[in-house]
Structure 1
């Protein structure tokens, strides 16, 4: 069993735990310290704003009537299971790919927890420029995005190694 955690990508699962923990901790702080829809300006382009997202990315299907809660929860659990399986398949010499997978797992579980427990995802990070606002997001979303970027980096890195 120990070999499974030292010789595969599962050795990076601590990153998923940190992403999940940091996500849930910051969401708890937001719920306890910031009123719903209250915006606190941090910089001229960044606010902390307590909002709920009943949909998926960019509030996709936010007004679908409630079924989307279970749909997105099931998708998150299935994708997390698949990514955990892929993570187990990575080898000891791989670093970027298992780090990417671990961040994606942590972020997916953070948002899935919100959906299952609350019925919505708690978002609070808002970036904007003048009247243009990026949709609110959270630490879980950031972990998923960072993981996706690392997947792309790994893809190009492996292509360069194969071409050489």
Structure 2
């Protein structure tokens, strides 16, 4: 199972880097290509910050945070991921995404973003494959944690009712 996880992380990193490479080589910064009118554009953008452009120019902060996050993910992947794909898969998506953007920060001093979307007139921040993997991974992890908490509450509720019926 672990080899599958690491191969998936490598695939995410490769897809991320390949798409970013194409944008860097074939597009000027700021250039935009309309793919679906009023909805989806390919826009060459560089982000020196984190999600939604926060913490612009804080590269050392991102280097340190990424190393810590990657170490924590690998630890948790080996501890919990081998027993549950519902934990392993989200962790691998986060791992691949974090490393994909880390490579950009090291190579370019900024993250290469290019997916530019508009929803009902709202311009969503431009993102990339690594960002998508991160968001999906975090979302799946939140769903897993909420599901586990719901199951635990349901189990304890039914367990306490069973005790009450036996005693009363």
Which TM-score bucket, shorter chain as reference? 0.7 to 0.9
When structure 1 is superposed on structure 2, of 45-54 and 69-78 the one drifting more is 69-78
What is the aligned counterpart of 1:88 among 60, 68, 78?
78
What is the aligned counterpart of 1:26 among 15, 19, 22?
19
When structure 1 is superposed on structure 2, of 34-43 and 126-135 the one drifting more is 126-135
Return 5+ residue gaps in structure 1 as ranges.
1-5
Structure-2 change in CA distance of 1:131 and 1:79 (3 Å): same
Return 5+ residue gaps in structure 2 as ranges.
156-168
Per-residue deviation at 1:161?
4.0
Structure-2 change in CA distance of 1:91 and 1:59 (3 Å): closer
Q: What is the RMSD computed on CA atoms of the aligned residues?
A: 1.7
Q: Which has the larger radius of gyration?
A: 2
Counterpart Cα distance in 2 of 1:79 and 1:92: 19
- Name which structure has the greater RCO, CA cutoff 8 Å, separation 6+: 1
Counterpart Cα distance in 1 of 2:118 and 2:43: 12
String of CA shifts for 1:19-45, please: whole Å, max 9, x gaps.
Answer: 111100100011112221111011120
Counterpart Cα distance in 2 of 1:91 and 1:133: 36
Is residue 77–residue 112 contact of structure 1 (8 Å, CA) maintained in 2? no
Per-residue deviation at 1:60?
0.5
* Residues 88-107 of structure 1: pairs in structure 2 closer than 5 A: 88-90=78-80, 92-107=82-97
Counterpart Cα distance in 1 of 2:7 and 2:66: 19
Q: With the length of structure 2 as denominator, give the TM-score of the two structures.
A: 0.84
Is residue 82–residue 88 contact of structure 2 (8 Å, CA) maintained in 1? no
Aligned to 1:144: 134
Aligned to 2:159: none
